[in-house]
Structure 1
């Protein structure tokens, strides 16, 4: 058993410690639906997950996974960019999850971009409750994601430390650009 989990596993542990039954949460990058299903289990029947993606294929995969697990009633799937989440969601959200990059197994030319990701994180910071968290797993390497990673890393250094606590965790001895976890906690 590995004690130190990968970035996504660390993200799930942190989110699991915060999100409770009846809460609202956002999966800003639906992808294959795994984080939407994870959040739907945490919020329970009385909660709601809002799941965003610009690709119909991603939302279809997410819907199929939710249906298979009996979680469809706990999630609202939205075909729109995550930068527009504040148009669909209001109130105190406990968690917003991002996995940057492209749809696993999908078209590498369709993926998250720095300008929309940064806008989405800013919108998420306006939606999360005190004590709520935004988790961002930054995937980069191969043929994409380097510009987004660099811009996002510059951006998080400027977040107001009086209102938000920002943590970055990365593996320093792993090959091939391992994902980086960034967590943003709302303090007040």
Structure 2
């Protein structure tokens, strides 16, 4: 069985192509941004968001080390994604919900801004495009966000979206899981 992050990456690799627009809604240390950059190629673009300057710095350094030029970093909340996309269609987005590893654990993603970002991205999602949510919920505030995001996703109209959940059910310490949304039409 695939671990959570490799599975999330596989979901992106299945749909993102050269020339696409993709979003890393929580850039953290930049690993998802780097993956998306490689997937969209030199003709595509990635918009990468985080509210923490340290996350932008970490991501910027990783991108520089890998000679990446097709990423726009935004020191802003993912709920403001529409300010940067304008009328662009989006092929894929990834969220890693929770906190920035190795940094202040009191700075976490919030259910209301996460759901707002999902809504804005799904409005721009192309048919066959995906939003991948890696939900870390073992921290204070994590349970509330998990429940809100899962409830939101469960309520999406199946005529327009397919939603799946991938998780390990016998691990301790509330392990992360993946929820993926794919636009049907």
- Give the TM-score band, short-chain normalised: over 0.9
Q: How does 1:172-187 map to 2 (within 5 A)?
A: 172-187=169-184
Cα offset, 1:174, TM superposition: 1.1
Q: Does 2:153 correspond to 1:161?
A: no
Alignment of 1:43-58 (within 5 A): 43-58=40-55
Give the Cα separation in 1 of the matches to 2:129 and 2:34. Answer: 19
Aligned to 1:81: 77
Match of 1:20 in 2: 17
TM-score by length of structure 1 reads 0.95
> How many angstroms does 1:144 deviate by?
4.1
Residue deviations 1:25-58 (CA, integer Å, cap 9, x gap): 0000010001000100111111100000111110
Q: How large is the Cα RMSD of the aligned pairs?
A: 0.9
Map residues 122-137 of structure 1 onto 2, 5 A cutoff. 122-137=119-134
In the alignment, the residues of structure 2 paired with residue 82 and residue 6 of structure 1 have an alpha-carbon distance, to the nearest angstrom, of: 25
Query: What does residue range 97-112 of structure 1 map to in structure 2 within 5 Å?
Result: 97-112=94-109
Q: Does the CA-based 8 Å contact 1:86-1:127 persist in structure 2?
A: no
- Unaligned segments of structure 2, at least 5 residues: none
Over residues 138-166 of structure 1, what are the superposed CA-to-partner deviations in whole Å (9 max), with x where a residue is unaligned? 00114441111111111111111111111
**Quick one: distance in 1 between partners of 2:154 and 2:139?**
25
Q: Deviations over 1:6-38 (max 9, x none)?
A: 121111011101111111100000100010001
Q: Measure the CA separation in 2 of the matches of 1:179 and 1:70.
A: 31
Query: Contact between 1:29 and 1:53, CA under 8 Å: does it hold in 2?
Result: yes
Alignment gaps of 5+ in structure 1: none
Q: Where do 4+ consecutive residues of structure 1 move more than 4 Å? A: none
> How many residue pairs align between the two structures?
184
Q: Is the 8 A contact 1:108 1:144 kept in 2?
A: no
Taking structure 2 as the reference length, the TM-score comes to: 0.97
Tell me if 1:93 matches 2:94. no
